[in-house]
Amino acid sequence: MAKSTLSFVCQNCGAAYNRWQGKCESCGEWNTLVEEGAAATGAIPNGGRPPRKGRLFALEPLTGETHDSPRLPTGIAEFDRVTGGGFVRGSVLLMAGDPGIGKSTLLIQVAAALARAGQRAAYISGEEAVAQVRLRAGRLGLADAPVELASETSVEDIVATLSQGPTPRLIVIDSIQTMWTDSIDSAPGTVTQVRASAQTLIRFAKRSGAAIILVGHVTKDGQIAGPRVVEHMVDAVLSFEGEGSHQFRILRAVKNRFGPTDEIGVFEMTGEGLREVANPSELFLSERDLGAPGTAVFAGIEGTRPVLVEMQALVAPTTLGTARRAVVGWDSSRLSMVLAVLEAHCGVKLSGYDVYLNVAGGLRIQEPAADMAAAAALVSSLANAPLPNDAVYFGEVSLSGAIRPVVQTAARLKEAAKLGFTRAFVPEAARDSGGDGTPALNPTGSLGALVAEIAQLGKPKKPAAAKGAPSGPPAEDRD
Ligand code: TYD
Ligand code: MG
């Protein structure tokens, strides 16, 4: 009769089992089940009482008086762009990112900016002592900002303290994995604790109107550890990304109930904290390798903003049985697709070559419009033919080898012109998009035509610098 009061909860996906097992059947991870109290699973027993009779509530039409949700901008433009113009009252944001990427740094800057503007802002750290946070703020030149600081991990204490006095406009909780609530038995950091703590904080945000930012660390496989289960509860999920070795950090909205999800904010990590980068194209192109084969400038769009970025390719004869394909900053299946189209429709044989593709500056490109720039860089490297320095490329490659049109041609061309580019390789359909002050258009109907054009460039440059291995474009591209 006695029901089991324990349950085993997967720390990766939150699935619950009533006995231990090595592998979670729901997400396939091994050794992620941890014993937690029964209440943990969300099944709250009724204690044998008869079911409660429901309370009546009013249903409302879609039209009607709207309660305007005024935004509270931080004044840090790159941050406000991503949130959609500032914090909405009572909203809860999850800021996810690798450890050490700069989440705490960015958020203390955000809290300080608001505090300086006269808003009540609180920064609660569960990871660092007050002295540590102070030290960092001092180094960032923010010591004079009236941010309310504490080192606490009990959600109940935090809510009780912040309920006193005027409601804070912003509360930063760093991090949600360190928080715990009395109402649950499990240890801090378990899925159940994270979920329950987040729930309490979200309830407080909705009740009080304070905006709350929860910091969440990402595990090594890129998932938000524990807070995976928080993602659907919060209003917005911001992801803070960047390569450890690069200075650039990119803030991206993954989910946003109050704004667009495709905007990015670009920052640079300096000795004085994170600096806004208002013109990312200049930054991404600042250290271009002019005149080297294997690089092409892609005119991309991130959100509403055009961003020019260099795509670098290296195609080298393979020394192993199977050729390597490695890609950083782009989708590896898109690379495979472009390589397959080059083989099938353009006669470019790449099976005997290792292929490396890199997006300079640590940016992650998600647009299909990058296909043509990637293909141009690949063929340029293979043919040892440097592409013109003053040209940009954009267009989607279809499986038939055609170059398909992409959105926002005018914005891409304008940004290219602004940065001094005078030629643009564009899809055939964009032939008429040119005009005064835009780069000269080079409409390209098919990938084959582009390959032929690049191979031509290679001819005069064909140096004796061949590495002894087969190099240069396959003969069939030459005519
Ligand atoms: P931090 O904000 O602590 O990262 P997170 O909270 O995401 O774990 O930032 C840690 C890194 O940032 C650290 O390795 C040092 C670097 N950093 C700077 O380069 N300049 C600075 O002014 C600060 C505060 C940090
Ligand atoms: Mg931190």
Average pLDDT score over residue span 95-110: 92
9 or 163, higher pLDDT: 163
How many A from CA of 331 to the centre of ligand 2?
29
What number of other Cβ atoms are within 10 A of residue 35's Cβ?
12
Q: Which atom of ligand 1 is nearest to the CA of 106?
A: 2
CA distance 35 to 20: 8
Q: How many CB atoms lie within 10 A of CB 79?
A: 23
Q: Determine the residue of 105, 133, 178 to mutate for testing ligand 1's pocket, defined as the one with the most ligand atoms within 8 A of the Cβ atom.
A: 105
DSSP 439: P
Question: What is the structure's pLDDT at 464?
Answer: 40
Residue positions counted in the chain = 479
Which residue carries 């009546």 as its tokens? 56
Q: Do 161 and 116 form a contact (C-beta atoms < 8 A)?
A: no
Of ligand 1's listed atoms, the one at least distance from the Cα of 174 is 6
Q: pLDDT category, 449, cuts 50, 70, 90?
A: very high
Tell me the CA end-to-end span of the chain in Å, nearest whole number: 83
Query: Separation of 102 CA from ligand 2 center, angstroms?
Result: 7
Q: Is residue 216 classed as helix, strand or coil in its secondary structure?
A: strand
Instruction: Determine if ligand 1 sits within 6 Å of the CB of residue 89.
Output: no
Mean pLDDT value across residues 186-197: 83
For 141-182, strand residue ranges (E) read 148-151, 170-174
Q: Does 125 contact ligand 1 (Cβ within 6 A)?
A: no
pLDDT band at 264; cut points 50, 70, 90: confident
CA distance 320 to 308: 35
Q: Report d(CA 353, CA 464) in Å as an integer.
A: 20
- Spatial distance between the Cα atoms of 401 and 70, rounded to a whole number of angstroms: 49
Rounded CA-CA distance 397/341 in Å is 8
What residues sit around ligand 2, an ion, with C-beta below 5 angstroms?
104
CA 367 from centre of chain = 13
- In sequence order, what E strands does 203-334 have? 211-217, 236-241, 248-256, 264-270, 273-276, 295-302, 305-317, 325-328
- 103 Cβ inside 6 Å of ligand 1: yes
CA 314 to chain centre: 25
Decide: 242 in ligand 1 pocket, CB within 6 A.
no
- For residues 295 and 411, give the distance between their C-alpha atoms in angstroms, rounded to a whole number: 22
H or E segment and range at residue 318: none
Q: What interhelical angle do 371-383 and 447-461 show, nearest 10?
A: 30
Q: State whether the beta carbon of 104 lies less than 6 angstroms from ligand 1.
A: yes
176 Cα–ligand 1 center, Å = 18
Give the strand order in the sheet containing 440-444.
Answer: 325-328, 353-359, 305-317, 295-302, 391-393, 423-427, 440-444
- How high is the pLDDT of residue 67? 61
273 lines ligand 1 (CB under 6 A): yes
Task: Tell me if residue 259 falls in helix, strand or coil.
Answer: coil
The residue whose CA has the least distance to atom 21 of ligand 1 is: 273
Question: What confidence score (pLDDT) does residue 38 get?
Answer: 55
CA atoms within 13 A on the CB side of 417: 14
| Centroid of ligand 1 to alpha carbon of 150 (angstroms) | 19
On whether the CB atoms of residues 38 and 7 are closer than 8 A, the answer is yes
pLDDT at 473 over 60: no
Question: Which residue, by CA, sits nearest to atom 25 of ligand 1?
Answer: 273
Is the CB of residue 249 below 6 angstroms from any atom belonging to ligand 1?
Answer: no
- Residues in a beta bridge with 403: 397
Q: Residue 437: its pLDDT value, please? A: 81
Residue ID of nearest Cα to ligand 1 atom 15: 100
100 lines ligand 1 (CB under 6 A): yes
Q: Which numbered atom of ligand 1 lies nearest the CA of 273?
A: 22
pLDDT digit string (tens) for 209-221?
999 999 998 866 6
The string of pLDDT tens digits covering residues 380-413 is: 999 999 999 999 999 999 999 999 999 999 999 9
Within 10 angstroms of residue 304's Cβ, the number of other Cβ atoms is 11
> What angle do the packed helices 130-139 and 103-116 form, to 10 degrees?
80
Ligand 1 atom showing the smallest separation from residue 97 Cα = 7
The number of the ligand 1 atom at minimal distance from the alpha carbon of 103 is 7
Name every residue whose Cβ is closer than 8 Å to that of residue 173 and which is 6 or more positions away in sequence: 124, 126, 158, 179, 201, 212, 213, 214, 215
Q: Which atom of ligand 1 is nearest to the CA of 107?
A: 2
pLDDT tens profile 320-339? 888 899 999 999 999 999 99
The reported pLDDT for the residue numbered 368 is 93
d(CA 147, CA 140): 14
